[in-house]
Structure 1
Amino acid sequence: MHVESDLRAAPNDLLPVAQYVRMSTEHQKYSTDNQSQVIAAYAELHKMQVVRTYMDAGKSGLNLRGRPGLQQLLDDVCAPHPGFSAVLVYDISRWGRFPDPDEAAVYEQTCKRRGIRIIYCAEQFKNDGSLSSTVMVGLKRSMAAEYSRELSVKVFAGHRNLVQRGYRQGGAPGFGLRRQLVDEHHNIKGQLTRGEKKSIQTDRVFLVPGPQAEVATVHQIYRLFLEDAKPERVIASELNRQGLKTDLGRPWTRGTVHQVLTNEKYIGNNVYNRTSFKLKIEHKQNPPSEWIRKDGAFEAIVRPDLFWQVQAIIAQRSRHLDDDEMLALLRRVLERHGGLSGVLIDEEDGLPSSSSYRSRFGSLYRAYDLVGFQPRRDCAYLEINRALRRYHPTVMQRVAQGISDVGGYARSNKDTDLLTVNEEFTVSVVVARCKPTPAGKFRWLIRLDASLEPDITIVTRMDQSNRDPFDFYVLPSLDFAASQLPEREANGLSLDFYRVDALDDFYALCARTAYAEAA
């Protein structure tokens, strides 16, 4: 049970508090200076002293990502001694306009669980946990979320209108093109350089041909693709041999060449909403029926007939292949080279990538088996090890979250992957691969880094499929040796004493309780 710190200071004392301020691009009343002034007045009136400031200037309130100020605040709150007893915020919308109001509640509850209240200084009610304040907070959070949704609809409608009038909406112009700035009467004001933005709201941007040398390179790319039938990877190599760079000053790649060959801006078409990230919830590839377009909006630097010839070739090449077609292509590569590998597959033009084969057939070695290729040695374990390496951060996060849920604090060391719990002891989390024996028994391969010297090692033993945990061993360094590891189903009482089906008891040992400080 957690005891919330008493926020009532003695008459001659100043209660240490933090302030959190955030401004996106809305209006001046929400400037960080204005917020700080209101917070300072509130602090003075209630005998508080702002000892720390967390700020997110120019940051959207839609989610936690991209808000280092709020992230640092939450990290400090979870530390054993944050140094303040409450957080002052201008109003509920400054805490965030999360599309899901429950997300705002989760972050506030994280603070309250540590005995640190969130106080909204400009709201007309006290955030004191009473029924009336709880109802008002929930209502205000929902209003903030609805504001975000309504604003998103209005912004999208404005962008759609401008695109259909032929104006460019965001993004780099691309190789061979430049951004031309015009005023509201369409008078040319000059070209924008890389990273430069328009400063007047009524100004508009459209695309114009770039330097002649870049335009010539675009023509060369189309000529190499259509006349010489060279794929994108070969074209990139040719451009790099000539010492040519992309518009970002980087070497050419298959992807950058492909972009030049497939973007309609090179024939003057203004296309918008190919992808969307509404309310910053999910990146989404939109179908062509949802694209917003204005054909002939800009001066073309590629002939439309050449562009559409390229699209027809690419469409035929990238049509969906069923399993039999994918395996037939792989079989031809095997016959040509006498062997298969991930690198060989990725370098083969006209063949799906090795990741596509992994996704379709479960693993590369399953695809190899289906086309009759047997590697010189059984390398299936490589696929499992690769999957377990990807799984390890998930286990680490679950352990850290479990400690946090009971009131503890876990800090991860990026160099060693050790967790420091409550600034008191260290924990190493190990994921062990299961390897069934020919007799049907289970064995686990456990590798420890003895140089880390953790106080506790948590061994997560995977099940037969190596997809889910089978059990756990919580091993204190004082009571086990690396030469005696739980590699079998039964390992004797000295080891199995530390075996558990879940980590709840370990989390309970990490729990901490906040107590009110004595006056």
Structure 2
Amino acid sequence: MQARIRAAQYVRMSTDRQAYSIANQQAAIASYAQRHGFEIVRTYADEGRSGLHLKGRSALQQLLADVLVDEPEFSAILVYDVSRWGRFQDIDQGAHYEFLCRSAGVRIHYCAEPFSNDDSLPAAIMKSLKRIMAGEFSRELSTKVFEAQARLARQGFKMGGGRRYGFHRMLVDEFGQPKGILQPGQYKHLRSDKVIIVPGPADEIATVQKIFRMCAWRGMSPRQIALRLNNAGNVTMTGRPWSGILVAHVIRSDMYRGVLTYNRHSRKLGGRDVLNDKSEWIRCEGAIEPLIDERTFRTANRRLSERRWSKSDHQLIKLLATLQARTGRLSVRDTLDQPGFPVPTTFARRFGSFREACALAGYIRPQILYASVHPTLLFRACDLLEDAATAIRSSGGRVEVSEVDRTLMIDGKYRLGATMVRTMSTAPHTTWRARLREGFDIDWLLVGLLNRTDNLVGYAVLPESRFGKTRDVYISASRIRAANNRIESLSELYSILRQ
């Protein structure tokens, strides 16, 4: 009796079709193995995993590692069909993984396909067509799912995600009758059920209304509002203190005036999360009971927009002239000391240098304070911010750049600013001083550490909470790095921001 060929089976189930259940695949593979003389000695199973990418498919990754790194205990791999191997959008990706296995002496057999994987021309053509069809199925399914979700969003139903501050998620049946409030971590189970947004806890509603009043009618900045809330003992849904950026998110959200917005961001076919153009947003007016009246909402957002300093050149020069008339001088330090004033890099970017902007404002002085030092550091800080954005994107983070105040919004949650500072002393007690200017609404400050010759020797990543009343933080080279959040490379930045 001829010995059976030792084989491994690879099975994968997504959530697209029940016919592809793990049990069904294994039954079909077992029947194929019995007919063709294979003995299944190893099973690799990816349950509930999409076939779009290799990422997240630990079983397939282990299979490839066993084939390529170790001496495998099998000489064949049995797969139900081409789509179970993967629905890769680039058909060469699936072919590449198969080629790696074949090069290691392990051949793949597709048990339910109407062709034999024997390297013949008809088999190669059929296999390529099947790979194209597998990828196209995912594209078509993605389009159909989006169209269905968009239709429901236009009807005022919430499409996934957790609750927002001040609201609850209410589960309703197919007739619109309430079935209960969904708690954190709970999601609808029946396809006929839908989720709507309803007003949430009374204390959260009161906090939201307080935020809008303080911004709209008292002219307070997001950071000032956050400090007021924290001093009053208010916390976010996660129990953490408020920050300026979280307050700004509340003020900008259309939900609080009763508008449900869908498709702001999208992640199609397993790709990166992208911010869609406003023309692609799907809005449903009146889908939510508003917590804020329209007049207050518009006033608060207008004040918030004014703080972003999207001013014309004439308005910027007028601001400098007004400051000079009040203080009798102009310097980088003077602008940094003014709450809500445009950052010096704004003037440098618009007019070539801060000195030129001052001259246009009618203030000419040979020795403008820090003029020989700060412009260079300011431009280097801009370069540092661009390098940080590149590093965060390389680490998988989502970055939005604000050209107005030169900050980065990370994953839609944290705002990062950057500065460059020279050492105040030399070894063995090397020290730097980082300063957070008033009115600079950020959650983290990335500090580039320079030595006396302006060479970059490292970085510090400081949370906004580290800056006290003096707005200064001293960074010592002699202390352990963890105490200062010091890092050697920007590749470490994203992991610190996510802590």
TM-score strictly above 0.5: yes
In 1: Cα distance, 2:374 partner to 2:249 partner: 37
Q: Name the stretch that deviates more: 54-63 or 132-141.
A: 54-63
Q: Is the 8 A contact 2:8 2:76 kept in 1?
A: yes
1:445-473 deviations in Å (ceiling 9; x for gaps): 9xxxxxxxxxxxxxxxxxxxxxxxxxxxx
Change (3 A) 1:305 1:136: same
Cα distance, 1:322 vs structure 2? 8.6
Q: Which residue of 1 aligns with 2:333?
A: 338
Q: Which residue of 2 aligns with 1:207?
A: 197
Cα distance, 1:213 vs structure 2? 0.6
Q: Which residue identity lines up with residue 12 of structure 1 in the other structure?
A: A
Change (3 A) 1:43 1:264: same
Cα distance, 1:225 vs structure 2? 1.6
Change (3 A) 1:111 1:377: same
Q: Which residue of 1 aligns with 2:105?
A: 115
Q: Name the stretch that deviates more: 75-84 or 33-42.
A: 75-84
Q: Which residue of 2 aligns with 1:241?
A: 231
5 Å matches for 1:502-517? none
Q: Which residue of 2 aligns with 1:180?
A: 170
Q: Which residue of 2 aligns with 1:87?
A: 77
Q: Is the 8 A contact 2:9 2:44 kept in 1?
A: yes
Change (3 A) 1:257 1:123: same
In 1: Cα distance, 2:316 partner to 2:127 partner: 55
Tell me the secondary structure at the aligned position of residue 36 of structure 1: helix
Q: Which residue identity lines up with residue 304 of structure 1 in the other structure?
A: E
In 2: Cα distance, 1:55 partner to 1:325 partner: 64
Cα distance, 1:324 vs structure 2? 11
Picking from 2, 22, 26, the partner of 1:11 is: 2
In 1: Cα distance, 2:305 partner to 2:259 partner: 19
Q: Which residue of 1 aligns with 2:281?
A: 291
Change (3 A) 1:300 1:339: closer
5 Å matches for 1:109-508? 109-318=99-308, 338=333, 349=340, 351=342, 372-374=371-373
Q: Which residue of 1 aligns with 2:436?
A: none
Cα distance, 1:136 vs structure 2? 0.7
Change (3 A) 1:85 1:320: farther
Q: Is the 8 A contact 2:4 2:39 kept in 1?
A: no
Cα distance, 1:178 vs structure 2? 0.5
**TM-score w.r.t. length of structure 2:** 0.64
Query: Which gives a bigger RCO, structure 1 or 2 (Cα 8 Å, sep 6+)?
Result: 1
In 1: Cα distance, 2:199 partner to 2:163 partner: 10
In 2: Cα distance, 1:329 partner to 1:212 partner: 42
1:183-234 deviations in Å (ceiling 9; x for gaps): 0011110010111011110001100000101101111111222233222223
In 1: Cα distance, 2:314 partner to 2:72 partner: 60
Q: Which residue identity lines up with residue 46 of structure 1 in the other structure?
A: H
Tell me the secondary structure at the aligned position of residue 139 of structure 1: helix
In 2: Cα distance, 1:65 partner to 1:23 partner: 15
1:458-489 deviations in Å (ceiling 9; x for gaps): xxxxxxxxxxxxxxxxxxxxxxxxxxxxxxxx
1:91-121 deviations in Å (ceiling 9; x for gaps): 1111222222222223323333333323212
In 1: Cα distance, 2:145 partner to 2:389 partner: 42
1:81-100 deviations in Å (ceiling 9; x for gaps): 34433332211111222222
Change (3 A) 1:321 1:380: closer
Counterpart check, 1:40 vs 2:30: yes
In 2: Cα distance, 1:258 partner to 1:139 partner: 51
Change (3 A) 1:353 1:180: farther
Unaligned runs of 5+ in 1: 1-9, 395-444, 446-519
Q: Is the 8 A contact 1:175 1:246 kept in 2?
A: yes
Tell me the secondary structure at the aligned position of residue 69 of structure 1: helix
Change (3 A) 1:40 1:239: farther
Q: Which residue of 2 aligns with 1:51?
A: 41
In 2: Cα distance, 1:328 partner to 1:114 partner: 72
Cα distance, 1:154 vs structure 2? 1.2
Counterpart check, 1:99 vs 2:94: no
**TM-score w.r.t. length of structure 1:** 0.62
Q: Name the stretch that deviates more: 174-183 or 256-265.
A: 256-265
1:50-95 deviations in Å (ceiling 9; x for gaps): 3333332222222233333333333333314344333322111112
In 2: Cα distance, 1:51 partner to 1:237 partner: 63
In 2: Cα distance, 1:40 partner to 1:326 partner: 75
Cα distance, 1:330 vs structure 2? 11
In 1: Cα distance, 2:226 partner to 2:373 partner: 34
Q: Name the stretch that deviates more: 242-251 or 150-159.
A: 242-251
Aligned residues: 374
Tell me the secondary structure at the aligned position of residue 338 of structure 1: helix
Q: Which residue identity lines up with residue 115 of structure 2 in the other structure?
A: F
Q: Name the stretch that deviates more: 18-27 or 74-83.
A: 74-83
Tell me the secondary structure at the aligned position of residue 35 of structure 1: helix
Change (3 A) 1:380 1:43: farther
Q: Which residue of 1 aligns with 2:62?
A: 72
Q: Is the 8 A contact 1:339 1:373 kept in 2?
A: no
Q: Which residue identity lines up with residue 185 of structure 1 in the other structure?
A: F
Tell me the secondary structure at the aligned position of residue 283 of structure 2: strand
Change (3 A) 1:302 1:389: closer
Q: Which residue identity lines up with residue 333 of structure 2 in the other structure?
A: G
In 2: Cα distance, 1:75 partner to 1:27 partner: 28
Cα distance, 1:374 vs structure 2? 1.6
In 1: Cα distance, 2:339 partner to 2:88 partner: 45
Unaligned runs of 5+ in 2: 358-370, 395-456, 458-499
Percent identity at matched positions?
40
In 1: Cα distance, 2:237 partner to 2:110 partner: 47
1:394-422 deviations in Å (ceiling 9; x for gaps): 9xxxxxxxxxxxxxxxxxxxxxxxxxxxx
Q: Is the 8 A contact 2:88 2:94 kept in 1?
A: yes
Cα distance, 1:294 vs structure 2? 1.2
Q: Which residue identity lines up with residue 374 of structure 1 in the other structure?
A: V
Tell me the secondary structure at the aligned position of residue 201 of structure 1: coil
